[in-house]
Amino acid sequence: MPAALLWLQLLAAAVLILGGARYLASASDVIARRTGLGHTFVGIVLLATATSLPELGTGISAIGLQDSPDLAAGSAFGSNMVNIFIIGIADMMWRNGPLLGSVSRAPRLVAVLGIGVIGIGAVSVFVHHLNSGMDGWYFSPLTAVLVAFFLFSTYALYRSEKGSDTPEPQPDPEQDEEQQVGELGPAIGLYFASALVVIASSVWLSYAGDGLANRHGWDESFVGTQFLAISTSLPELATSIAALRLGAPEMAVGNLLGSNLFNMGFIMAANELAYTDGTLWAAISPLHGYTALIAIGMTVIVIGALLIRSRKGVPNGGIPATELTGVRRWAKPEALLLIAIYIGASIGLFYAG
């Protein structure tokens, strides 16, 4: 198949994922408000679950239909880096001072738990490449540890949100009544319909990615880490930008950090179950372990910025929004550093692959 046609398929699948994610986000919001779930919990769990569906669909199809475990792993591990990169982009877009100084303490817990779950993923990759004793196992014991930590993290976030006294945002007065209220039944139907569109588009996306890898002779781990990871992270980008426009930076940051929990604790566990020729960790490139370490480093930067910017509980790190003019509105060190690390890591992964 001509390379141009493969690129067009990749673009078309990405557009469908982006469109489906829009309805997933709106349906998730109605479900959350109708069931009484907290605003932060929506961004961290419900919305992150919805926007992580492309990684799930891409991973399962790459393993089950194309026998390409590196594409599946690259999509999950690479999305971790992309999500933190999007935080840097969102920080540049946020005009009310540093983005990470405009959120409460809740995202700190998500970031710390994210480091834990990504770290377990990295350890799983390296252990299985250093020791072949468990290679023939269908389900690695390290995957069980990963799932257990993911479930613990979800429960910890739920308890943290229930104990939070953060006020819920009021509906946007510019929205019409149907947008403000919404019905639970139709919202659930829209959620599942949109999910089917996203998953089907993700299957198509994995085929296009595999075709590009074969056509250009690229390493599958690189294609998964870059092209598929970027494409499947489009829902996170779209919902985060929408959250910023609504003046809800905490939902934007929580969604991105929460997605990393699902990429490792849920998506990689599902990929492990889909792979039937031994354990998945032994079948993928060690390069994914280094990708995980880069994502951990980027998350540490986010945590550091959250701590520094929110010192003494002063929004924007103590910088009044009225004083943030010109270059100071967008030249935020943590954002520039995250973007630079992502670009440098992408170049390094290309040559390593």
- What integer pLDDT is reported at residue 182 of this predicted model? 60
Q: What is the pLDDT of residues 32-86, one digit of tens each?
A: 677 766 555 665 666 677 777 778 887 888 898 778 888 889 889 989 999 999 9
CB-based contact 111:295 (threshold 8 Å): no
Q: What is the pLDDT of residues 180-209, one digit of tens each?
A: 446 778 888 888 888 888 778 877 876 777
pTM of the complete model: 0.78
Q: Which residues contact 262 (CB under 8 A, 6 or more apart)?
A: 48, 49, 52, 55, 150
- The amino acid that residue 199 corresponds to is I
Outline where 164-233 has alpha helix (H): 177-180, 184-216, 220-223, 229-232
Residues in the chain where the model's pLDDT stays below 70: 32, 36-47, 161-182, 206, 219-221, 224, 227, 309-331, 353
Q: Which CATH number fits the domain 3-352, given the four candidates 1.20.1420.30, 1.20.1250.20, 2.60.40.10, 1.10.3210.10? A: 1.20.1420.30
- What integer pLDDT is reported at residue 77 of this predicted model? 92
- What integer pLDDT is reported at residue 187 of this predicted model? 83
Per-domain boundaries in the chain? 3-352
Burial of 177 (0-12, 13-18, 19+ CB in 10 A): exposed
- What integer pLDDT is reported at residue 273 of this predicted model? 92
Alpha-carbon torsion, ordered 48, 51, 52, 56, to 10 deg: 150
